[in-house]
Homo-oligomer: A and B are copies of this chain.
Amino acid sequence: VALSKDLSREKVVDAALAILADHGLAALSMRQLASTLAVQPGALYWHVESKQELLAQLAERILSDPATATPRSDLPPDQHLRLQALAIRTALLAVRDGAEVVSFALALRPLEHSPAAMLHHTLATALPEPDAAWGAQTLAHYILGEVAEEQNHAELARAGIVAGERAAAYSTERFLFGVQVILHGLTDANARPT
């Protein structure tokens, strides 16, 4: 993407994000990344500690969009949460294997704008603890799981390993059904196990 020399951490992450978006996680190797930047593989390690850390950087980038573009907070909490969930899903879908990269990064270390933290911010205005925190985690799991399945399926279809199938199977409607189920289950005090 940037064919000139003089690497920087930013250029490395930019180029990596471009490879991820265009060709997916399987195509994102340190060696391929180096060749895109017209540089030897070892040069990358001056700017980034490891491939794991690079993936964490990519996850921050992917999540920075829905984190900044937060919808107007004058809405009732449940509507606000639906918009947030949709915004997170859209951001993950915008990059090939986005959900897998974010899931991996979340396991690796806390992220600046984790989905659970974003949702918790809103959920805390409507629920007591620990319901708000646990509910945010449950919602975040659902979002990442749903998108990861959708994208995994898309990757395998692209590789010709599974049938292409109808695109309607993973519709926004279905996604919102799950969000609605979780939100409805949360907004009842009896949800806590006794």
Contacts and interface: CB of A to CB of B under 8 A. Distances in A.
Contact of A182 (B137, B146, B181): B181
Interface residues of A, number: 41
A80 to B, nearest CB: 16
A189 to B, nearest CB: 10
B193 A176 contact: yes
A156 B107 contact: yes
Contact of A145 (B141, B156, B161, B190): B141
Nearest to A141: B145
B193 A138 contact: no
A193 B178 contact: no
A173 interface: yes
Could you say which of A106, A109, A191 has the most chain B C-beta atoms within 10 Å of its C-beta? A191
A184 interface: yes
A162 B56 CA distance: 14
Contacts of A145: 141-142, 144-145
Could you say which of A146, A173, A181 has the most chain B C-beta atoms within 10 Å of its C-beta? A181
Contacts of A106: 149
Contacts of A190: 184
Interface of A: 52, 103-104, 106-109, 134-135, 137-138, 141-142, 144-146, 148-149, 152-153, 155-156, 161-162, 173-174, 176-178, 180-186, 188, 190-193
